[in-house]
């Protein structure tokens, strides 16, 4: 025979409102893992990895994105262990396909890090 567990009804309606409000605030807040990744400066690689997984539905097909994220995270942890700064080097090797405004966009993203 299956067991059914019911939550006891709350005694006061204000309790229900306060709990539902706190639940909504939790939904609005960012996940702890995501906020920690943002602090490392590796969030863009994490985002690429997530997009790849959503698109392909198989982690094995996202090995390139996983390597990029892992490398950036290891670099961050290595430099942090020596009280160093995390530097991201971007080389423009294909100048023919340069997009106008790309340099400014990269600089604005880097300023946030």
CB 16 within 8 A of CB 10: yes
CA distance 43 to 46: 5
Q: Which of 39, 92, 37 is nearest to 70 (CA)?
A: 37
pLDDT digits (tens, 9 = 90+) for 10-26: 445 445 444 445 555 54
CB 66 within 8 A of CB 75: no
Q: Is the dihedral of CA 94, 95, 100, 105 positive or negative?
A: positive
Q: Does 27 have pLDDT greater than 60?
A: no
Confidence category of residue 29, pLDDT binned at 50, 70, 90: low
CA neighbours closer than 13 Å in the CB half-sphere of residue 47: 6
CB 72 within 8 A of CB 43: no
CA distance 33 to 24: 19
Q: Which helix (H) or strand (E) holds 54?
A: helix 43-56
- Over range 68-75, report the average pLDDT: 86
What does the domain layout of the chain look like in residue ranges?
30-91+101-112
CA neighbours closer than 13 Å in the CB half-sphere of residue 80: 9
Confidence category of residue 31, pLDDT binned at 50, 70, 90: confident
pLDDT in the model for residue 4: 42
The model carries a pTM of 0.44
């Amino acid at each position: 025979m299956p067991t059914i567990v019911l939550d006891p009804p709350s005694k006061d309606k204000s309790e229900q409102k306060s709990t539902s409000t706190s639940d909504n605030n939790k939904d609005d807040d960012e996940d702890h893992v995501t906020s920690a990744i943002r602090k490392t400066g590796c969030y863009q690689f994490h985002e690429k990895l997530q997009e790849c997984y959503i698109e392909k539905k198989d982690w094995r097909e996202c090995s390139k994105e996983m390597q990029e994220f892992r490398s950036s995270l290891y670099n961050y942890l290595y430099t942090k262990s020596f009280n160093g700064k995390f530097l991201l080097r971007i080389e423009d090797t294909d100048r023919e396909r340069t997009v106008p405004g790309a340099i400014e966009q990269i600089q604005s993203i880097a300023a946030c890090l």
